[in-house]
Amino acid sequence: MYHGCRIRLIDENYPGARQSGTMSDISPDFNNDTLPAGRITHLNFPALIFGILLIVIITGGNVLVCLSVFLEKALKTTTNYFIVSLAFADLLLAVLVLPLFVYAEGGVWSLNMLVCDSLMTMDVMLCTASIFNLCAISVDRFIAVSIPLNYNRKHVDHRQIVLLSATWLLAMAVASPVIFGINNVPDRDPSECKLEDNNYVIYSSVCSFFVPCPIMVLLYFGVFRGLRHWEVTRKVKLRSSIEACRRLQHAAVATALPPLTGTIPGPLPMPLPRIIERDLAQSRLDDTGDFMQQEIPYPRQYRENSVPTPGAPQEESQDQLQGEESYEGAACRSCFLFCWTPFFVVHTTRAICLTCDIPPALMSTVTWLGYVNSALNPIIYTIFNTEFKKFFKKCFQISLRRR
């Protein structure tokens, strides 16, 4: 989902191409008059098929993500608006970048250099916007855990608007040197499309990956630490209330007369609220003390007639959403790091060490691995978020019925 500023490997397997610097240089005897024949002869069919399939998967999956957030009330949360921003970046990538990348896999670059520079600009911008969106989500989750009283998860406030705007404005700022002419170097080869300035390659990689990623990881460590502290504090506070309620109920059971058959029973002792019963059951599982094991049973009718506590279902739902969003975010970030760390390491090494011999197959592999990441996030949402899963299942069932 989140894409780096990539150097295009154009026609590096074509006979007559030779490696020089960071890209393959096309031999002088290859001119534009022979482009069609060369392109037809040397089409990379596996890459073509895989690329088209990947475009379809990325587009379909991320369209579903956007539709689910805008159509399902349960998914209209601030965190999911950041996810929509990520999905939008993926859609732009699938529509504007990937088709040209697939086109360039089978031959040399035959389009306008302005198109090439626009392609490089979008590539860098979408990468940076994606990872800045991930950082913004990490900041948003950290605020939600650290100062929950100041956080509204149902309505977007000025903080979220600033974060969303900053992600795209900063991404445009990082990518802008390409469209403003940094690629217009002397003796530029019109038969290949790449980032020409190695210093800019290093700069954009640092801005897009090597600085934001550690910040994102540290913030999410803080999120999980905060959630763990919140859970421990919650259990400690509830345990005292649970024990007090249990003592009161047991005392009431001991002093109350059992109801007679065929008569109207007298007033029953106040049953435990459901939220207390739930935490009581959990505390029984967690606690290994003798007191917890020596329970005094009380009549079944007192347990079955538990009264609902206002806000208890909402609290349980909020707890579930907190956990889902946290694990979902961790999975997205882990997937992003797994898919894009190899590319940025190889990519930056290639720009720094001009004498290093990096096999074209390795560069192609890490680049395609990065593209695959764009198709994985909708799958992650489906696995970790029950509301996304319900919406995707509903859409799938509707499509089957229409057939």
Residue pLDDT tens, the chain, 403 long: 433 344 343 344 444 443 333 333 333 344 444 444 444 435 677 778 888 999 999 999 999 999 999 998 888 888 888 999 999 999 999 999 999 888 877 667 888 899 999 999 999 999 889 889 888 888 888 888 887 766 666 666 788 889 999 999 999 999 999 999 998 888 888 888 888 899 999 999 999 999 999 999 898 888 888 777 777 777 777 777 777 777 777 777 666 555 545 544 555 555 555 555 555 555 555 544 444 444 444 444 444 444 444 444 444 444 555 555 667 777 888 898 999 999 999 989 999 998 988 887 888 788 888 889 889 988 888 788 888 888 888 888 887 887 6
Q: Specify the pLDDT at position 14.
A: 40
CB contact at 8 A, 160 and 133: no
Supply the angle between the helices 312-352 and 212-255 in degrees, to the nearest 10: 160
Domain residue extents for the chain: 18-30+38-229+313-402
Reported residue count of the chain is: 403
Greatest CA separation found in the chain? 106
For CA atoms 180, 186, 189, 195, the dihedral sign is: negative
For CA atoms 139, 142, 147, 148, the dihedral sign is: positive
CATH code for the structural domain at 18-30+38-229+313-402: 1.20.1070.10
For CA atoms 249, 255, 259, 263, the dihedral sign is: negative
Helix (H) or strand (E) holding 23: strand 23-25
The closest of 181, 15, 172 to 108, measured between CA atoms, is 15
Helix (H) or strand (E) holding 25: strand 23-25
Helix (H) or strand (E) holding 10: none
Q: Specify the pLDDT at position 378.
A: 85
Supply the angle between the helices 312-352 and 198-205 in degrees, to the nearest 10: 160
Rounded to two decimals, the pTM is 0.70
Q: Specify the pLDDT at position 401.
A: 81
Q: Specify the pLDDT at position 280.
A: 53
